[in-house]
Copies of this chain bind each other. A is one copy, B any other.
Amino acid sequence: MNCSVARSLDIVGEWWTLLIVRNIMFGQRRFEAIQADLGIARNILSDRLNTLVAHEVVERVKYQEHPERYEYHLTEKGRDLYPVVAALMAWGDKWEAPDGPPLVMRHTCGEQVAARMVCAACGEPIEFGAVRSKAGPGFRPAVVQPGK
């Protein structure tokens, strides 16, 4: 599909996938730990991790020789998913946390994190309605089927 949202969701759009990425972000790098924390079936976790490795979001790193054992680290591409996870967390904190946020994030500046999306050019918040889209260099018209 001719859209970067769709291409992103092709890779991380499956429910478990972003939770696995979140767990690795929060420092949980080993199969057994992720499996126990998420309560996910082993074959599904294995499948999702393989997809993430194939798309170079995650890499397997050997941490023990005898026997060989691996853990999962985020690549640069994987670390770049941080704003997606942070935006989902902010939305859930606002709309689906009646008892308050389950986790509080503190920025290195010392303040509690209130993530905000801004325009890198002017610094103003990017909100619904403040953005207009047009076709970019990677735009390809949708394929029209014969007879349609």
Contacts and interface: CB of A to CB of B under 8 A. Distances in A.
A62 interface: no
Q: Give the interface SS of chain A, mostly helix, strand, loop or mixed.
A: mixed
Contacts of A135: 102-104
Interface in A56-95: 74, 77, 79-95
A99 B137 contact: yes
B99 A88 contact: no
Most-contacted residue by chain B among A11, A81, A107 (CB, 10 A): A107
A2 B138 contact: no
B90 A83 contact: yes
Interface in A1-56: 1-15, 18-19, 22, 25-26
Interface of A: 1-15, 18-19, 22, 25-26, 74, 77, 79-109, 111-124, 126-140
